[in-house]
Amino acid sequence: MNGMPKVLVVDNGERAPDSALSAELAGMGYASVTTPFEAADDVLALIPSPAAVVLHMPHQAGWAERRRFLDLARRLRKNLADRDTPVIITGGIAGAATMLQNELSVRAVAAPEF
């Protein structure tokens, strides 16, 4: 991929054109890699330092599916804590973009100058 910061988007594998985060993230200056839930760890191994991980939970997710996403979020937050990588859970495109923009803007402002 190009030199744009990369965001890993994890979903349940069912993607509707109107729920894709890639265009929104590209408009914010991020390249995105979208993967189904089951492949998240494998893809994360290929992108060792993502700018963020967005867990895109389906709007109509049942309790079992919500639990899977929450468990993955907890585990990723623990594993990525030393890299200060935000893990964001969302169920909608505008929510993810806004949360990601807020999270990364705060980090950019707080980052030390070199």
Strand 87-90 to 6-11 pairing: unpaired
Q: What confidence tens digit (pLDDT) does each residue in 11-30 have?
A: 887 766 655 677 778 888 88
Q: DSSP state, 28?
A: T
Domain spans, the chain: 6-110
Cβ neighbours for 102, distance < 8 A, ≥ 6 positions apart: none
Cβ neighbours for 61, distance < 8 A, ≥ 6 positions apart: 12, 69, 91
pLDDT given at position 98: 67
On the question of pLDDT at 3 being above 50, the answer is: yes
pTM (2 d.p.): 0.77
Q: What confidence tens digit (pLDDT) does each residue in 40-82 have?
A: 999 999 987 899 999 888 777 778 888 998 999 999 999 988 8
The two structure tokens encoding residue 111: 């980052």
Sign of CA dihedral 31, 37, 43, 49: positive
The CATH class, in words, for 6-110 is: alpha beta
Output Rg (C-alpha) for the chain, integer angstroms.
14
